Chains A and B, each alone.
Chain A
Amino acid sequence: MEITAEHLRKTFGSTVAVHDVSFEIARGEVVGFLGPNGAGKSTTLRMLTGVFPPSSGRAVIAGRDVAREPLAARRALGYLPERAASYGEMPVEKYLRFIADMKGIPARDVTAAVREAMGATALEHVSHRLIGNLSKGYRQRVGIAQALIGSPPVLILDEPTSGLDPEQVTDIRGLVQGLGSERTVILSTHVLPEVEAICSRVIIMNRGRILAVDSPSSLEEHLRPHREIAVEVAGARDDVLRVLHAIDGVSGVAADAALPGAPTITYVVRCVHHRDVRREVAAAVAAAGFGLVELKPVVMTLEEIFLALTSRDRLGDEKAVTPPSPQVERVVASH
């Protein structure tokens, strides 16, 4: 395992920022850390990167215990802090050289390492500009370039796309996606589509606890009690409803409210268990002589997944039930 967190817990005075967080991430994975403000994402990432030690528990990066072999662990690591801060009065290239020196890159390799990092983040044309004069997106890139120096096998990026315009968000996402395959990446975000777009797994946190660890798609399967299919059909509403109901494996049908006289209506067909009845639906609609306009599965967005999980969490709190520890796969499976 490239990254291991074992029962990480962090308290500041009487506040418990992170309760009990455990997970493992294999080499080459891109994992998204997702959660609302104050969920404990940054605190967890800081324990992994060794910014501060956990109050209890253990973090291991690339086989190195962060507490016992801090320097070896840090050498395997590139980190973009939440604020992506750097020294405004320094030119980009000088700053990256400084970082390379601090990372102990051999003097003769510094130029190449800096050039490679600037190449990966498309910073070459601003290499002599002062960081303080760059736009936020470019400063963010400088932060990522800095993390890339020395090609560390593990990258931990805390909200790499926060505060950027949509175009730069796409750029940075593309950049992170391009990093994958040979690198292990953790990134945190509030933006759900981001994880859907680039992460193979997602770790959902709330109030210092992990709610779920899974791939975006199988999370949905666990959370959604039934599979649903949206069918758009041209035909008399009541007739269509009757036909759809009659299909074997369909447990319920709901029609969208459509404008009177609209040529087509969209129906949401709920299937028994997880049976896929798309083919049967298509055949039945066609056999009845209606016009089939569109047929597609209803995909739960991460927003919905997240809402489902967090509302469950809140419920658990109200009932003063200690949530099953520590693993989430179990939380998901038990429902």
Chain B
Amino acid sequence: MRAISAIARRELAAYFGSPTAYVLIGVFLVLSGYFFYSDVALFVTFGAQVLSTGLWRFVFVDYRLVTLLVLPLVTMRLFAEERKLGTIELLWTLPVKDHQLILGKFLAAWIFFAVIVLLAMIPFAVFWVFFPFDLGPPIAGFTGLVLLGTAFIACGIAASTLTENQVVAAMLTYGVLVFFWFMTWNEAVGDESVIRYLLLLSLFDHYYNFASGSIQTVDVAYFLVFAAFFLFIALRSLQSRSWRGVV
């Protein structure tokens, strides 16, 4: 526990001690604020009636894009930088297990994301002050967003363990995530039954329920399994030093 929190604290200090953190947070807030504003404008212009399907759904689907844009840039440095600096070699000789290294870094990225999500709630709060609304659907939406972010972070960490190049790590994360997004788009490829299974795997198809205000156990489980799978990949990748050496 102590080691996990030491790593998480060090990573958070590194995030908030450098301008990149503020740039990333700034980008997220500007984009998400813009989406929130334009979605509200749409809602009003077209005179939709139901908030959860008419407004929140669009807001959360847009937040998803901003999250997809920003999180790989948050996670890319976590292991790639240690490899580049050579500090990873020292970490491997400290009395700390590989999974603790991964969990510490995961926790740091997760807290960073939690800060972003909290800030992204501000427009909702402002909106609520003027037009009190049912909090249920947005709570489901944010739950979905946090789960989605958890999955992205796990995937980003796995990519970051594979290379010492941060840009490569980010690109790899984008590649994997976009693949999990697009895999149900080309419906012409498979027949009905194949698509049904692909839908089970597809990232964003599990997110849409949250965005529309409903929390389903299957969807929660999907994101948790997704995250666990990539954290496991990260673990195996760290252990590959036994044949790969220190790169």
Contacts and interface: CB of A to CB of B under 8 A. Distances in A.
Interface in B77-126: 85-87, 89-97
Interface string B3-39: 1011101100110011000000000000000000000
A333 to B, nearest CB: 35
A254 interface: no
A94 B89 CA distance: 19
Contact of B10 (A43, A77, A98): A98
A306 interface: no
Interface in B184-235: none
B236 to A, nearest CB: 14
Contacts of A49: 93
A71 B95 contact: yes
Contacts of B243: 12-13
B89 A102 contact: no
Q: Secondary structure at chain B's binding surface: helix, strand, loop or mixed? A: helix
A153 interface: no
Interface string A77-107: 1010111011111100010001101111000
Given A85-B85, A89-B18, A46 B94 contact: no
Interface in A3-56: 12-13, 17, 43, 46, 49-53
B9 to A, nearest CB: 8
Interface residues of B, number: 29
A87 B14 contact: yes
A103 B14 CA distance: 20
Contacts of B94: 74, 99, 102-103
Contact of B6 (A50, A87, A88, A101): A101
Nearest to B245: A12
A46 B245 CA distance: 9
A104 B2 contact: yes
B2 to A, nearest CB: 6
A146 interface: yes
A330 B18 CA distance: 57
Contact of A79 (B2, B85, B93, B97): B93
Given A17-B245, A102-B7, 11 more contacts: A43-B245, A51-B93, A51-B241, A51-B246, A77-B93, A81-B86, A86-B85, A89-B14, A90-B13, A102-B91, A104-B95
Interface of B: 2-3, 5-7, 9-10, 13-14, 17-18, 85-87, 89-97, 241-246
Interface of A: 12-13, 17, 43, 46, 49-53, 71-72, 74-75, 77, 79, 81-83, 85-90, 94, 98-99, 101-104, 146
21 contacts: A12-B245, A52-B92, A52-B246, A71-B95, A74-B94, A83-B86, A83-B89, A85-B90, A86-B85, A87-B10, A87-B14, A87-B85, A87-B87, A89-B17, A89-B18, A90-B10, A98-B9, A101-B3, A102-B95, A102-B96, A103-B94
